[in-house]
Structure 1
Amino acid sequence: MMKILVTGASGNVGSYVVNELIALNENVVAAGTNVSKLKDKFGDKIEPVYFDFTKPETFDEALKGVDRVFLMRPPHLGKPEDLYPFIDAVKKHEVKLLSFLSLMGVENNPIPPHHKIENYIEKSGIPFAHIRPGFFMQNISGVHSVEIVKLDQIFVPAGKSKTSFIDAADIGLAIATVLHDAKAHKNSTFTITGPEALTYDQVAEVLTKVTGRKITYARPSYLKYRNYYLKNRKLDKNYVNVTVALYFMTRMGTAKAVTDEFYLLTGKRPRTFEAFAREHKEIFIKN
């Protein structure tokens, strides 16, 4: 039985992809730079492998016996070219499907790195299935939860724009679904979103309801946000710049579309933000 390689396996989306594939009785090779972390997370249900996009010598071992691949761009690699050597290695291994975690609306937007990565995969001739989700709900429970907990504020420069947030668990299910049936989903694209588009004021209202504390949307400028994330949060400059670009696009209306493609692909309804916030309530509670 052939195997599926999952890059970024210990990350937000990757870990959901792994668990969904295990539930489908697939043989999973979980790839990452910290093998012991992968063993702790998944036990003996997976085959852990050391893998690093910046070390081509790790590629062949990771791809051994693999016929399908989930590709995820690590946040710290801002240049599309950083992923090309691995995509070339995948092509040499003649896989049945490469599923790439892309971004909603990226087909019409050359600014994010995902646009060039999608094009590179397609030009290489590898059978592909691009999954293009809206913004993750986990952005709010993850990187942005710090200000929610400490300051009772959502601190993102999204203006009055709307976002059709989707749970990373739902993204994981969608990716596992295409990888499980590679033939049916060859050379396809799916734009998947949550069931509704919310402003960040509405997100703050939901969090107020769930936590019982008054949470507000700070609506900072790009500059204020960028300075705060670099100086106060001390986050990587490339990462912060990519997020500024994404919020710029969000204000242009690129994040507000709501599709039914998740339901058509999986037969399930995507989770609402309120259901997500209740499920992960402890993250937003002050210690």
Structure 2
Amino acid sequence: MADIHKIIPALNAAKRAGVEEIVFLSIIGADKNRIVPHYAIERAIEQLNIPAVFLRCSFFMQNLNTTHREDIRLRDRLFMPAGNGKTSFIDVRDIAAVAVKILTEVTDRAKAELRSNRAYDLTGTVALTYAEVATIFTTVLSRPIHYTNPSIPTFIWQMLQQGFPLPFVFVMVGIYTTARFGLADLVASDIQQLLNRSPISIDRYVEDYQECWL
């Protein structure tokens, strides 16, 4: 998760060091969602007066094999308070490919084209509920995986019991509440346009990472 108290000093140091461009990994809707730290970080970057591109990403698929790995592997569940809202999940391998393209493009014309849009929305090609994601896990892992859809208080309590720090849990609640209210289902075409291919599907992601949950 983005930590404003660590990133702002780093940004100021980057400016003093003469950094000429910033590509910031942000989240979908960060320009409007004041709850998440990405909003304040984007505003801080704008104040630096350094050319910048914001990669506003949907929910990382890889959160499911990191933050939520133990819930899936040991408890056969997707445990997040997202209600029945849909999310346009993104594979971080696609995000990396976009960042590399923006940072390494060498021709002046290509640079101008990439930077003409200061922010890119990076999503998958379809928005899914977590119940639908659980069905994909069930099929690939060949065992039942359930989406439990906990209440927000239950989610906070159990995440704290698992040892996650409170500020981290609150940011997670903010992100999942966005999904819960139907604000995470944007499907954008930016990856297709930037990489000339479709984004990695969540089915392929689960297949590629399935050993994480066995």
Whether TM exceeds 0.5 here: the answer is: yes
CA RMSD across the alignment: 1.5
Which residue of 129, 148, 171 corresponds with 2:72? 148
Match of 1:280 in 2: 209
Aligned twin of 1:56: none
Q: Separation in 1 of the partners of 2:142 and 2:100?
A: 36
Letter in 2 for 1:94: G
Aligned counterpart, 2:158:
228
- 1:192 counterpart = 2:116: no
1:209 and 2:133 aligned: no
Cα distance change on mapping 1:222 and 1:272 into 2, 3 Å? same
Q: Which residue of 2 aligns with 1:269?
A: 198
Among 9, 13, 18, the residue aligned to 1:94: 18
Higher strand share: 1
Q: What secondary structure sits across from 2:27 in the alignment?
A: coil
The answer on whether the counterparts of 1:158 and 1:251 sit within 8 Å (CA) in structure 2 is yes
Cα 1:111–1:76 change in 2 (3 A) is closer
More helix, by proportion: 2
Secondary structure (helix, strand or coil) at the match of 2:83 reads coil
In structure 2, do the counterparts of structure 1 residues 76 and 257 end up closer, same or farther at CA, with 3 Å as the change threshold? closer
Structure 2: how far apart are the matches of 1:210 and 1:281? 8
Determine which of 230, 255, 264 is the counterpart of 2:184. Answer: 255
Alignment check: 8 A CA contact 1:102 1:133 kept: yes
Q: How does 1:115-154 map to 2 (within 5 A)?
A: 115-154=39-78
Q: CA deviation at 1:254?
A: 2.1
Q: How far apart, CA to CA, are the structure 2 residues paired with 1:82 and 1:143?
A: 21
Query: With CA pairs under 8 Å and 6+ residues apart, which has the higher RCO, 1 or 2?
Result: 2
Q: Secondary structure at the match of 1:110?
A: coil
**Any unmatched runs of 5+ in structure 1?**
1-74
User: Is residue 145–residue 283 contact of structure 1 (8 Å, CA) maintained in 2?
Assistant: yes
Per the TM alignment, residue 81 of structure 1 is displaced from its structure 2 partner at its CA by: 4.1
3-state SS of paired residue (2:95): helix
Instruction: Determine the C-alpha separation between the residues in 1 that align with 2:213 and 2:7.
Output: 35
- 1:181 corresponds to which letter in structure 2? E
* Amino acid aligned to 1:281: Q
**Separation in structure 2 between the aligned mates of residue 142 and residue 97 of structure 1, nearest angstrom:** 30
Deviates more, 1:87-96 or 1:161-170: 87-96
The Cα shift of 1:147 comes to 1.2
Per the alignment, residue 40 of structure 1 pairs with: none
1:160 aligns with one of 84, 94, 106: 84
Give the percent of matched residue pairs that are identical in Structure 1 and Structure 2. 33
Residue type matched to 2:192 in 1? Y
- Whether the 8 Å contact between 2:2 and 2:38 is mirrored in structure 1 is no
- After TM superposition, the structure 1 stretch with the greater mean CA deviation from structure 2, 194-203 or 141-150, is 141-150
Distance 1:261 1:157 in 2: 28
CA-to-partner distance for each residue in 1:75-103, whole Å, 9 max, x for gaps? 373xx243222211222233231000000
- 2: CA distance, partners of 1:117 / 1:260: 25
Gaps in structure 2 of 5+ consecutive residues: none
Partner Cα separation in structure 2 for residue 85 and residue 207 of structure 1: 40
TM-score (norm. length: structure 1): 0.69
